[in-house]
């Protein structure tokens, strides 16, 4: 959830084939996605039956290791996307589906080899001054949630006339005032901590593998650590902590609890692709002052930045967006998340829904953008898996917008973001001799490639022409017999 979210009461060319259809010690958290498949697909606002289907049909087969799903708890009524971020109770009943459908989705994803991360809202409850009745019928008031929380379980900072955060350079205010009127939970309270842990443990009992902790910046890191120490079993943790220049609360404070979103990554990558030089990416990541790679969660865009930050690339950028995602999946920094959006023109617009605001089943490319299925992005997930753990070697750049590099011994990519083709050039890969599928333009299946085949000679070289604003990528697990 972004600090610039509106008050809840107010309410170029495309690459060929691109869019083919107190200090708490040792919390039981996993500091990085586990297993050989670490790429996360964020299926934003998808309903549970659609997520279940996608795990089996696309995410598992394409090698995604995780799916991130939107908040599953009961929320306020409305058609805006942000209603999911206003909890009313911790019942697993929302416009995305029932508890039984949620459990079925988790089981289906596990059967497909995909782990499930839940976007968990634990900083606050609703932002509705007059209260009401939630999605599943629970009554509530702004600071009263029967059977869960009462008035004493919330912060009242007494500032700015309405308890809202105004000054992000004041640590107390950021963590004790209300984020756009959302009732701020007293996370230093033992009762509140136990209640939040009970919610997370309920999700763990349904098979969930990890949590994205929304609005983590608005809770002291020690409070989060205490809550995590109460989990029934280890879980992957990633925290939303937005970097702000000169602000006292920094992402680094939270790395002891698990991974942390690196919001600078998407902004910096967009600036390079739009107006600077790809050659600058040679030390991208820690060399740019970003978080250490082992605790950084990275993305080209997410559901907040694509609405609130003009400085990031989104699905609307089409070919350039796909190239930026290809770079992210090829470059060994952080744990990458691929965004999967629905089409929107109004920043508050919710997902495709019926007249009761219940989310429709997803139909890709018809109201849903499904970037995780785009050929370039989906196939580069396989590249990421094939090159996991390998360093960068054989870096090349022309000083401007043509770059290339190896993931040592396992893969090779070249990206030409110049305004014209790069023809007649040879590339040194360091890969074994053989015939490889260019996964940017083709899909490798059962030993065959649907696109161009690249021949690497006995010395590790190949020759190719790279069109403007295009790329070529090969890796060891897409090698033809």
Class of domain 29-387: alpha beta
pLDDT > 60? residue 357: yes
Task: Report d(CA 284, CA 331) in Å as an integer.
Answer: 9
For 174-222, what is each residue's pLDDT tens digit?
A: 999 999 999 999 999 999 999 999 999 999 999 999 999 999 999 999 9
In the CATH scheme, what is the homologous superfamily, with its name and number, of domain 392-478? Golgi alpha-mannosidase II (2.60.40.1180)
Residue 64 main-chain phi, psi, to 5 deg? -65, 135
Which residues in 123-267 belong to E strands, given as ranges?
132-133, 139-140, 210-213, 235-239, 259-261
pLDDT > 80? residue 10: no
Q: Which pLDDT value is given to residue 36?
A: 76
Work out whether the CA dihedral 417, 418, 424, 427 comes out positive or negative: negative
For 277-333, what is each residue's pLDDT tens digit?
A: 999 999 999 999 999 999 999 999 999 999 986 799 999 999 999 999 999 999 999
Q: Which pLDDT value is given to residue 146?
A: 97
Residue numbers annotated as active site: 214, 240
DSSP characters for 253-266?
A: GGTTTSEEE-HHHH
Q: Do the beta carbons of residue 471 and residue 417 sit within 8 Å?
A: no
Task: Report d(CA 295, CA 207) in Å as an integer.
Answer: 24
| 179 SS3 class | strand
* Residue whose C-alpha is closest to residue 55's, from 280, 271, 292, 372: 372
For 231-276, what is each residue's pLDDT tens digit?
A: 999 999 999 999 999 999 999 999 999 999 999 999 999 999 999 9
Count CB atoms within 10 A of the CB of residue 406: 24
pLDDT > 70? residue 26: no
Q: Which pLDDT value is given to residue 365?
A: 97
Q: What mean pLDDT is predicted for residues 18-27?
A: 39
Q: Do the beta carbons of residue 357 and residue 349 sit within 8 Å?
A: no
- Report in angstroms the alpha-carbon separations of 356 from 45, 77, 78, 92, 353: 16, 9, 9, 18, 8
Instruction: Give domain limits for the chain.
Output: 29-387, 392-478
pLDDT band per the 50, 70, 90 thresholds, residue 1: low
* Residue whose C-alpha is closest to residue 476's, from 375, 390, 377: 390
Length of the chain: 481
Whole-number average pLDDT of the chain: 93
Q: Which pLDDT value is given to residue 8?
A: 31
* Residue whose C-alpha is closest to residue 72's, from 36, 40, 34, 100: 100
* Burial of 336 per CB tally in 10 Å (0-12, 13-18, 19+): buried
pTM over 0.85: yes
For 118-139, what is each residue's pLDDT tens digit?
A: 999 999 999 999 999 999 999 9
Which residues in 307-443 belong to E strands, given as ranges?
335-340, 392-397, 402-407, 411-416, 422-428, 434-437
pLDDT > 90 in the chain, percent = 91
For 41-71, what is each residue's pLDDT tens digit?
A: 999 999 999 999 999 999 999 999 999 999 9
Tokens at 158, concatenated: 């007494």
Q: Which pLDDT value is given to residue 32?
A: 56
DSSP characters for 414-477?
A: EEE-SSS-EEEEEEE--PPSEEEE-TTT--EETTEESS-EEEE-TTSEEEEEE-TTEEEEEEGG
Count CB atoms within 10 A of the CB of residue 394: 16
Task: Report d(CA 209, CA 16) in Å as an integer.
Answer: 37
For 83-109, what is each residue's pLDDT tens digit?
A: 999 999 999 999 999 999 999 999 999
∠ at Cα 31 (208, 226), nearest 5°? 75
Angle between helices 319-330 and 263-275 (to 10 degrees): 130
């Amino acid at each position: 959830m972004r600090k610039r979210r509106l008050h809840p009461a107010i309410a170029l060319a495309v690459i060929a084939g691109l869019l083919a259809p107190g200090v708490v010690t040792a919390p039981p958290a996993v500091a990085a996605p586990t297993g050989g498949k670490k790429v996360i697909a964020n299926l934003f606002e998808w309903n549970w039956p659609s997520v279940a289907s996608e795990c089996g049909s696309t995410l598992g087969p394409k090698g995604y290791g995780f799916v991130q799903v939107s908040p599953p708890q009961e929320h306020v009524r409305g058609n805006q996307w942000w209603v999911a971020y206003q909890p009313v109770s911790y019942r697993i009943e929302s416009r995305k589906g029932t508890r039984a459908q949620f459990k079925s989705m988790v089981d289906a994803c596990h059967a497909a080899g995909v782990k499930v991360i839940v976007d968990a809202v634990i900083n606050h409850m609703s932002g509705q001054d007059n209260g009401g009745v939630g999605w599943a019928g629970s009554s509530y008031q702004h600071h009263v949630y029967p059977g869960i929380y009462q008035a004493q379980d919330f912060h009242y900072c007494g500032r700015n006339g309405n308890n809202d955060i105004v000054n992000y350079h004041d640590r107390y205010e950021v963590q004790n005032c209300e984020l756009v009127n959302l009732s701020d939970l007293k996370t230093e309270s033992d009762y509140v901590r136990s209640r939040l842990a009970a919610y997370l443990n309920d999700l763990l009992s349904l098979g969930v593998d990890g949590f994205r902790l929304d609005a983590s910046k608005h809770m002291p890191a020690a409070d989060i650590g205490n809550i995590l120490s109460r989990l029934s079993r280890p879980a992957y943790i990633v925290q939303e902590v937005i970097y702000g220049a000169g602000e006292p609360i920094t992402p680094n404070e939270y790395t002891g609890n698990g991974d942390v979103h690196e919001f600078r990554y998407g902004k910096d990558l967009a600036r390079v692709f739009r107006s600077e030089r790809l050659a600058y990416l040679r030390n991208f990541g820690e060399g740019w002052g970003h978080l250490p790679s082992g605790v950084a969660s990275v993305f080209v865009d997410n559901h907040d930045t694509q609405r609130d930050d003009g400085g990031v690339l989104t699905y609307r950028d089409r070919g350039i967006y796909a190239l930026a995602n290809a770079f992210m999946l090829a470059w060994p920094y952080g744990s990458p998340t691929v965004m999967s959006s629905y089409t929107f023109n109004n920043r508050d617009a919710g997902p495709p829904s019926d007249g009761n605001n219940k989310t429709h089943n997803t139909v890709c490319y018809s109201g849903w953008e499904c970037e995780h299925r785009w050929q370039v992005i989906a196939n580069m997930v396989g590249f990421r898996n094939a090159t996991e753990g390998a360093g960068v070697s054989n870096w090349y750049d022309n000083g401007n917008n043509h770059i290339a590099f190896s993931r040592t011994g396992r893969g090779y990519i070249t990206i030409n973001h110049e305004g014209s083709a790069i023809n007649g050039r040879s590339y040194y890969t360091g890969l074994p001799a053989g015939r490889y599928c260019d996964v940017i333009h083709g899909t490798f299946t059962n030993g065959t490639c649907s696109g161009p085949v690249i021949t690497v000679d006995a010395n590790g070289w190949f020759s190719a022409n790279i069109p403007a604003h295009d790329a070529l990528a090969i890796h060891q697990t897409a090698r033809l017999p």
